[in-house]
């Protein structure tokens, strides 16, 4: 694709685009919930935990709170969800809570992800522009075999997407101007924020990220530069 001839770096959203967070978190939460008699469906528990994600980051984005890493926010959010189900986090072993929180670093890639990334890597440098922290992305990459060249994102920028700094400081860190980078994501709002800064855009269809009743991001909201069924299809369209 000629429009990508000058592109040197592909930045990836990870949660939902590259890995299946919902199924993975539910699977790891299930024995914890059963062990402690918490009567909630594991998939619903994963959804409730994820629902705290954006509100907790918004406090940082708005300046209400200084930047803290996503693993810290996730641990706080876990406590809020447990309280909602009548469980006092302080009454549970800290080691178990810490282990459950690491579920976000043990997420299964979608079936096409590793092959698609490996193919894209033949032509482009690749790495996450994620709201996760560097250690979390490193651990997730080792768990799932994700072949990143570099890890950038929120911890580099000290703020969270879709704040412009998250994209711009990440691209600056890999030594390129925005027009020589592209954002790859399954979320239209992520691509809109990147596009406004001059990045090219690749939309990946993930209609089951939120389960069978997903109602968001089922299709591209705009005429993105590339619209692909999955990462293997994106690699094919980009000549990889």
Pairing of strands 152-153, 181-185: unpaired
How high is the pLDDT of residue 3? Answer: 81
Q: What is the CATH number of domain 21-105?
A: 1.10.150.240
pLDDT digits (tens, 9 = 90+) for 183-200: 999 999 999 999 999 999
Question: What is the C-alpha to C-alpha distance for residues 181 and 199, in angstroms, rounded to an integer?
Answer: 5
| Structure-model confidence comparison of residues 214 and 10, the more confident one | 10
Inform me whether the pLDDT recorded for 2 exceeds 80. no
Q: What average pLDDT does the chain have? A: 97
Closest CA to 118 of 213, 205, 232: 232
DSSP 116-184: HHHHHHTTSEEEEEESS-HHHHHHHHHHHT---S--EEHHHHTS-TTSHHHHHHHHHHTT--GGGEEEE
What fold is seen in the domain 2-20+107-237? Rossmann fold (3.40.50)
Kindly state the helix (H) or strand (E) to which residue 200 belongs, with its residue range: strand 200-204
How high is the pLDDT of residue 91? Answer: 93
As a whole-number percent, the residues of the chain with pLDDT over 90 amount to: 98
SS3 231: helix
What does DSSP assign to residue 89? G
What six digits make up the tokens of 117? 């990334």
Question: What is the C-alpha to C-alpha distance for residues 163 and 193, in angstroms, rounded to an integer?
Answer: 8
Inform me whether the pLDDT recorded for 120 exceeds 80. yes
Q: Could you tell me the residue ranges of all domains in the chain? A: 2-20+107-237, 21-105
pLDDT digits (tens, 9 = 90+) for 27-57: 999 999 999 999 999 999 999 999 999 999 9
Closest CA to 240 of 118, 119, 113: 119
Inform me whether the pLDDT recorded for 17 exceeds 90. yes
């Amino acid at each position: 694709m000629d429009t990508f001839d000058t592109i040197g770096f592909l930045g990836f959203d990870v949660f939902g685009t590259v890995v299946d967070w919902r199924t993975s978190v539910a699977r790891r939460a299930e024995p914890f919930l059963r062990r402690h008699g918490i009567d909630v469906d594991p998939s619903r528990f994963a959804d409730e935990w994820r629902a705290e994600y954006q509100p907790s980051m918004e406090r940082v984005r708005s300046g209400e709170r200084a930047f803290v890493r996503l693993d810290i926010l996730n641990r706080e959010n876990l406590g809020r969800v447990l309280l909602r189900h009548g469980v006092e986090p302080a009454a549970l072993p800290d080691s178990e809570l810490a282990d459950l929180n690491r579920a976000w670093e043990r997420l299964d890639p979608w079936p096409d992800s590793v092959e698609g990334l490996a193919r894209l890597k033949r032509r482009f440098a690749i790495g996450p522009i994620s709201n996760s922290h560097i250690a979390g992305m490193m651990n997730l990459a080792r768990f799932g075999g994700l072949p990143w060249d570099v890890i950038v994102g929120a911890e580099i920028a000290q703020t969270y997407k879709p704040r412009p700094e998250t994209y711009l400081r990440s691209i600056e860190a890999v030594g390129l101007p925005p027009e020589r980078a592209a954002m790859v994501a399954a979320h239209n709002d992520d691509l809109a924020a990147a596009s406004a800064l001059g990045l090219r855009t690749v939309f990946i269809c993930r209609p089951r990220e939120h389960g069978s009743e997903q109602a968001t991001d089922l299709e591209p909201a705009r005429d993105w530069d590339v619209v692909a069924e999955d990462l293997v299809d994106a690699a094919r369209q980009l000549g990889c």
